[in-house]
Structure 1
Amino acid sequence: MSHSASSPSFGTPSRPGAPGASGRAASWGSGPRGAGSRGAGRGAKPRFGFGLVGPRRDRHSVPVDQLEALALPVGDDGMVIGVDAESRPAVLGINRPVPYDVTLIGGLWTAQVLALRAAATGARVAVETGRAQAWTALAQAAGGGQPCISLHDVGRVPPQGASAGSPVVVIRDCGMRPPRGRVVSAPWQSVVTLLPYLSPVAPRLLEKSSLVGVQRVSPDEAAQIGRIMSLPRHEYEALSTLADGVTLWCTPSDRQFVMTQGTDAETGLLGGARRMD
């Protein structure tokens, strides 16, 4: 995600070079049976390692002022959680080698989209919830039959054994006053806590979180969140007017409004974006 009301940490692997290719080319023309010696006519100067001169074509070139058109809208590694105000992908790196806590004050729909997209990155998702019926269809549909999303009663999440090869995202959907979890954030194990509204435990959760997401709340709640997160007045006042699917994601130093839109598959399973459950 870009920053300005900007992305919290919201890669393209380097391509190996091709020494093998150049090595093969050199070997093809280096011996008596090489392409350069074999293909060169009598009197022609052999082109060792390159074979015969091929057809000439125009070089592929782009004027400098058009280079930006070739840019790819790719940010950091992670899952796409929506688009920013300029319709650029907003990417959240949820699988990390350090403990990572996220608090979302928002709707179940957004939390479930995050669960599906985290599973799509290869993470195992453990949902701690007091309303399993709201998650059952999603857990059954995710992973094409593979058990990538598991449901657990509140306080009954077993150790997950997270590792770099098998990262875990724990989603805590435990109501307004979630109890302290038995399973906490750890390397390669992120914890996302969903709060439907600002509650008495929210200030503690917001202060300890690496990332906070806020959807539409009342003006009074918006002002309180603004104080806790040190938001500019125009940003916290906007929190009471946000459309369904819009979230302000923020850290102590970065903020960005993001619109999350469901894919066809997500919409078919979860319905359209909504703030209220």
Structure 2
Amino acid sequence: MQGQVAPGRAVQVPAQLGARQDTVDVTGRRLGAPQLTDAPPAGAQSRALAAAQPAYGPQDDSPPDEPPEEDDDTRTGPSGKTSPLHIGWHAISRKTLRRVTVTPSAGAGLILGRDRQNAPVPLHLFAPEPVRIALVGGVWAAQLLIFRAFALGARVIVVTTEPRAWAGFGERATGQYNRLTVHSSDQGAALTGTAQMPTLAVYDLGLTGPATAPPLGPWRTQLTILRQLDRPGLAALQDAQLTLLQRLGGDEAALATSTLKLRPHSGQFLQFMADDMLALIGEGTDRYLFLGQTPTEQQFIGLPRR
């Protein structure tokens, strides 16, 4: 109804221009409006603002000699006894500092892609013990894996019968000439690896892996590329701890299913995967993932293909 005021509401009373405006509640009590002024606020409000200021000036980056005295009026805890929060310098003794340690972690590994639930799929490419991986696919998938391994600090040695496929790849990807070297034989490929600079030895020999098992050590991983899966390459699959598969033909899928002891429907799915998919076989599970190639990876490696 017009003319009524809701309980607890305050209304403005018009005043002359330039005069102070007050607020009147429904009980008729007059509430003074705050004056606007350039003078600093006084009382507890000024002390609270002063406490919020830095303890030392902007040009002085040394810690204060003593913390500022605490004003009881500025305590904000429910009991009025909350300690003020001091952000800035903290000092510990040398004895305590020597007790601070960093615990090494195995890490999440190299992110290979994402599964059908969009969860990241890590690949433990490097480890304190030797790792052997087989890839049934083309150079594109191998170079994508290597490109991501560069981000882990890896050095790469490629032993190949087709050096033109690798010419200039390391320089383009890293801007350095010694991060990836290409050899026509195992000679000169026996480099050691460390946790800071692991080594990836890539064998791109067509249908088979290396004739003899290369010597491996800590932080050194062997990647064998099988351009096509046929019986000469089955030994490489059996020796590998992990197997990566691009889309396979019918005969290849049959060989992979029997050699890796896959379920029948897995062998069928291998024949219908998209170009940007991989199957990760090993560690007691089969995972099918999308590689999620970035624009930068497309620039250096090209679009997905086998």
Is the pair's TM-score, using the shorter chain for normalization, greater than 0.5? yes
Residues 157, 189 of structure 2: 8 Å contact kept: no
Residues 128, 157 of structure 1: 8 Å contact kept: no
Match of 2:84 among 51, 60, 79: 51
For 1:197, the equivalent position in structure 2 comes to 228
Q: Show CA shifts across 1:52-109 (max 9, x none).
A: 89xxxxxxxxxxxxxxxxxxxxx95211111111222211111101111000111110
Residues 113, 266 of structure 1: 8 Å contact kept: yes
Residues 119, 143 of structure 1: 8 Å contact kept: yes
Gaps of 5+ in 2: 1-64, 87-105
CA distance in 2, matches of 1:78, 1:34: 47
* 2:270 is equivalent to residue 236 of structure 1: no
Residues 203, 210 of structure 2: 8 Å contact kept: no
Q: Show CA shifts across 1:133-161 (max 9, x none).
A: 11123111122336222212133343212
- Residue type of the partner of 1:256? R
CA distance in 2, matches of 1:76, 1:52: 35
CA distance in 2, matches of 1:46, 1:146: 66
For 2:302, the equivalent position in structure 1 comes to 271
Following superposition, the deviation at residue 114 of structure 1 comes to: 0.6
For 2:160, the equivalent position in structure 1 comes to 129
Task: Provide the aligned C-alpha RMSD in A.
Answer: 2.7
For 1:89, the equivalent position in structure 2 comes to 120
CA distance in 1, matches of 2:209, 2:298: 28
Gaps of 5+ in 1: 1-32, 54-74
Matches within 5 A, 1:1-277: 35=67, 38-40=69-71, 50-51=83-84, 77-145=108-176, 147-180=178-211, 183-251=214-282, 253-275=284-306
Following superposition, the deviation at residue 207 of structure 1 comes to: 1.4
Identical aligned residues as a percent = 26
Q: How many equivalent residue pairs?
A: 219
Following superposition, the deviation at residue 249 of structure 1 comes to: 0.7
Residues 139, 151 of structure 1: 8 Å contact kept: no
Cα distance, 1:202–1:103 mapped onto 2, change above 3 Å: same
Counting helix residues as a fraction of each chain, which structure ranks higher?
1
CA distance in 1, matches of 2:285, 2:120: 16
TM-score (norm 2): 0.65
SS in 1 for 2:168: helix
CA distance in 2, matches of 1:80, 1:163: 20
CA distance in 2, matches of 1:110, 1:93: 17
Report which structure shows greater RCO (CA 8 Å, sep ≥6). 1
Residues 280, 286 of structure 2: 8 Å contact kept: yes
- Residue type of the partner of 2:84? G
Larger radius of gyration: 2
Following superposition, the deviation at residue 252 of structure 1 comes to: 5.5
- Residue type of the partner of 1:113? L
